[in-house]
A and B are shown apart, each in its own frame.
Chain A
């Protein structure tokens, strides 16, 4: 594990219901600054729900969430302000179809953060350059491939200068040949020290990028370990069963 200087995100006893059904049963969890955590778990176990709770897209029933030491889940802090520090990229292509690539990227920094246009434009250009899409900045999302759209979505989140990035299966609806280009971008981000919380079904990627694997099943954290340990000798039978499903892939 990296030097664990400081806890950036902390979750205590988080519970989440949909209707009468409890989906998350009291999650305790934390991420250190600069750490890359990959969440694994079978479909429907609550990974997406958990990420959505972290940036206030879902209300939680009990427990607390702290960012940088201060509570963000008590209703006093405004979520729209907190979300500027928590970048999120979803599985579905979620660019705004009526805006060009650059307009998509500038919307948050200009309207939510009220930053200066030329400063943000410069940063956006640098980020686009890094993901190899600077020449597409005036295109509309419909003109891009799935992989390109997801790279733009990542840039859009990064341009807010977030403290932490949440990724929810961002390669799950991509054609196989495009998965790589998106994972490469995420890998580079990880190497540059971005704090990241990643939900993915790409096991090789998880193994190579993660500082820590968190395995969730049926709304509980079942196992937490370093990737080598998790993939070679999982401590729980549930994690073992989960890994068996993927063993044909590699």
Chain B
């Protein structure tokens, strides 16, 4: 049986370790998605501010985050910042921070797009019934904006989940890293080990992201 490559996955603790690694990736994804959602809403609202200065400040933040590759941000925070500030942040914590910064920027832009796509008279009708500016956002603008942006926000979430695999490069031991470790110890005995390990990782990501994508499609239909 040992010539069946797929057995590599189920030898010893291998599968359990892969799941554990996946858990690390998912924890980073969940934390950063939550932070990004909350901060993204505020950033998005600020991006529709009446004040040019506020708008351009937000815009520069978004552009800065987008122009520099995410991997570079990870390196900057993990290697450079520690040098400059003389403090060693744990890799997973750095991952949380960088992914939140990125997610907030992207989510903010989605919120901005959704809010500005609403007709202006929605805001005015809200004001006309005596609501304050804040109440108009709370009861009129945001509920409608969320419906519009949910499909694209969910796509962003799946993108963030997949992109967490980058954190392996600052030394976080997540599913990809554990996969590599398993391959290293098995490759001599089982030449096809790497194929099976990557196949199972593909499958695990698929199992997580696919239902989320389906849900996005479903909402898109229901709310259009």
Q: List the interface of chain A (C-beta within 8 A of B).
A: 55-57, 79-81, 83-84, 87-88, 90, 92, 94-98, 107-108, 111-113, 156-157, 160
Contacts and interface: CB of A to CB of B under 8 A. Distances in A.
Contacts of A157: 128-129
Nearest to A83: B130
B130 A57 contact: no
A83 B131 CA distance: 8
Contact of A55 (B119, B122, B128, B139): B128
Interface in B156-212: none
Given A57-B124, A57-B127, A80 B119 contact: no
B135 A83 contact: no
A113 B131 CA distance: 9
B147 A112 contact: no
Contact of B135 (A87, A90, A111, A156): A111
Q: Is the interface of B mostly helix, strand, loop or mixed?
A: helix
A92 B144 CA distance: 18
Contacts of B140: 96
7 contacts: A83-B127, A92-B119, A94-B121, A96-B122, A98-B144, A112-B130, A113-B130
Given A83-B130, A84-B129, A160-B129, 4 more contacts: A80-B127, A88-B128, A94-B128, A112-B132
Contacts of A79: 127
A81 B130 contact: yes
Contacts of A84: 129-130
A160 B130 contact: yes
Contacts, number: 62
A57 B133 CA distance: 12
Q: Interface majority SS on A: helix, strand, loop or mixed?
A: loop
Contacts of B124: 57, 90, 94
Interface residues of B, number: 19
Contacts of B119: 92
B90 interface: no
B132 A80 contact: yes
A176 B124 CA distance: 26
Contacts of A90: 121, 124-125, 128
Nearest to A87: B128
Given A111-B135, A111-B139, A112-B135, A94 B130 contact: no
A96 B135 CA distance: 14
Interface string B139-152: 11001100100000
Given A107-B139, A111-B139, A94 B131 contact: no
Contact of A96 (B125, B127, B130, B132): B125
A94 B129 CA distance: 11
A112 B133 CA distance: 11
Contacts of B132: 80, 112
A97 B144 contact: yes
Contacts of A107: 129, 131, 139
Nearest to A159: B129
B121 A83 contact: no
